[in-house]
Amino acid sequence: LIEAVNAREILDSRGNPTVEVEVLLDDGIVQRAAVPSGASTGAFEAYELRDGDKSRYSGKGVLKAVAAVVDELGPAIEGVEASEQRIIDEILIETDGTDNKSRTGANAILGVSLAVAKAAADSADLPLFRYLGGPNAHLLPVPLFNVINGGEHADNGIDFQEFFLAPIGADTYGESLRWGTEVYHVLKGELKSAGYNTGLGDEGGFAPDLPSNREGLDFLIRAIEKAGFTPGKDIAVGLDVAATEFYKDGVYTVEGKEWSVDTLVDYFADLVANFPIVTIEDALAEDDWDGWKKLTDAIGSKVQLVGDDLFVTNPKRLQQGIDLGVANSLLVKVNQIGTLSETLDAISLATRSGYTSMLSHRSGETEDTTIADLAVAVNAGQIKTGAPARSERVAKYNQLLRIEEDLGDAAVFAGRSAFPRFKG
C-alpha cells in the first residue's frame, strides 16, 4: 500500500528546475522518478506547470507542482495498492480535474505515476521492464542516435532538429550501441577536419553550422563508411524535422526560402530516394493535417513517418490520424500525456492500427531511466534518447545494456524488423 508521497524541485540537463517524486510503500520500499521537459513542445501536449515567479529560475521554478504532489495528488492515493496503476492514474486525473492536466500540472502527475510503477515493481521484486511488460517483454530496441543537433536544440543554422544513426544490422543491442558510438566519434573527426565546430547540442549531438540539411545527411553517410560500416545495410539514417518550428500560415521556411507543402513533400521524396532513411519524424507541422495526408500518400509505404507534435502521445489525436490515414508511427513521450496508463493506451492503439512506436526522451532530461524499461516492456523495437554522450542520454542506453544482460538468451534485438517499411 502507498504510505506516503514526497516531491522536490531538482535540475534537469539544461539547468532548469523539474519535479522529482518519491513514493514510500508500507513494506518499506522507496522509489523515485524524475520528469523530463521539452524545448520544441507541441501545442497539444499536457500542461507543464511552472511557477512564473521571475525572482526564481527566471520563472521556471516548479514549486507549485511540487506542492500539488505533496498537498493533493499524494494524499489522494495514500492507502491504495501500488500495483493498481490504472486506478491510481484515474485518481490523479480526477484530482487534477482538467482536460490537459493544467491545474496540478502534468509534470506533477507524471512524477507520481512513474514513481508508483517503480515502487510497485520493486515491491514485487521484479525489474521495471518485467513488471510492466510481463513474461513476453524481450525485444531490445534499435537505438536512434541523434548525432547532429539543429533547430531549437542548438545555436546553429540547421533547420532540421535531429539527424539519426540507426544501427539496424547489429546482432545485439550491445553491438548496436558500440557501432553507433564508433560512428559518433568518426563523425566528430570528419566535422573537425572540414572546419566545423564540434560543440554539442542539448541532446549530445554535434551542433555544426552546416550550410544545408542535406549536408547533415552527407556527413552521416561519410562517417558510417569511414567507420567501416555499410550505409543502409549496417547503419541506416533518419530525421526529426520538427517542422512545426518553421511553419507559419501555410508556409515552411527552410534554408532561408519559403516552401509550400508540395515542395517539401517532393523534397522528402527525393531524400528518401537518395539516402538510406528509415524514419522521418514531424516532417510537417502539428496542425497541417492535409499536408500530412499528402506526405503519407506519397512516401508512407517506403519510410516510417513518425508523429510527435502531431500526436503528442494522445490516443485521441492518434485516432484522428489513423482515421485520416496520416503518418504510420507514434512517438512516445510520457510527459506529453502525463500518466503511464495513458501512455500504454496510446502504444496499444498504435500497435492495433499497424503503426510502429518509438520511445523517446525529451531535450531536457534527468538521470531517470524509465523509458528504457518501457521500450522493452512494450516490445516497441525503437528508442531515441540522444547521442551516445552526456550522462542523461547515456543513462538510458546503459540501462538497456543491463536489461539485455538480465534477459540473457531470451533477449532479441529488433534490428531491421523494427522498420517494416524500409526497403533500402
CB of 65 to ligand PGA, least distance (A): 18
Among 308, 365, 373, 404, binds Zn ion (CB under 5 A): 308
> Amino acid identity, residue 263?
T
Residue where the block lists cell 519510410: 303
CB of 242 to ligand PGA, least distance (A): 5
Q: Which is nearer to Zn ion, 49 or 283 (CB)?
A: 283
**Residue 385 interface partner, choices Zn ion, ligand PGA, none, CB cut-off 5-8 Å depending on type:** none
Active-site residue, 286 included = no
Please list, in sequence order, all residues whose beta carbon lies within 8 angstroms of the beta carbon of residue 58, skipping any fewer than 6 positions away: none
Instruction: For the beta carbon of residue 418, count every other beta carbon within 10 angstroms.
Output: 26
Candidates 295-303, 359-367, 372-380, 414-422; binding stretch for ligand PGA (CB under 6 A) = 359-367
**Residue 39 interface partner, choices ligand PGA, Zn ion, none, CB cut-off 5-8 Å depending on type:** ligand PGA
Residue 415 CA to chain centroid, in angstroms?
18
Q: Which is nearer to Zn ion, 20 or 245 (CB)?
A: 245
Rg (CA), the chain: 21
- Contact flag: residue 387 with ligand PGA (CB under 6 A): no
**Residue 279 interface partner, choices ligand PGA, Zn ion, none, CB cut-off 5-8 Å depending on type:** none
39-68 residues near ligand PGA, rule: CB under 6 A: 39-41
Residue where the block lists cell 521484486: 125
Candidates 38-46, 189-197, 272-280, 390-398; binding stretch for ligand PGA (CB under 6 A) = 38-46
Q: Which is nearer to Zn ion, 104 or 304 (CB)?
A: 304
Among 362, 386, 387, 419, binds ligand PGA (CB under 6 A): 362
Candidates 238-246, 255-263, 272-280, 315-323; binding stretch for Zn ion (CB under 5 A) = 238-246
Residue 319 CA to chain centroid, in angstroms?
20
Q: Which of 245, 333, 365, 404 is catalytic?
A: 333
- Contact flag: residue 240 with Zn ion (CB under 5 A): yes
Active-site residue, 333 included = yes
Residue where the block lists cell 553491438: 175
Candidates 25-33, 100-108, 168-176, 357-365; binding stretch for ligand PGA (CB under 6 A) = 357-365
CB of 117 to ligand PGA, least distance (A): 21
Among 2, 5, 38, 107, binds ligand PGA (CB under 6 A): 38
| Closest chain position to Zn ion (CB) | 308
Active site residue ranges: 203, 333
| Binding site members for (2R)-2-phosphoglycerate | 161, 333, 362-363, 384
Q: Which residues sit in the known binding site for Mg(2+)?
A: 240, 281, 308
Detail the residues annotated as belonging to a binding site: 161, 240, 281, 308, 333, 362-363, 384
Binding site for Zn ion (CB under 5 A): 240, 281-282, 308
Residues that bind ligand PGA (CB under 6 A): 38-41, 161, 240, 242, 308, 360, 362-363
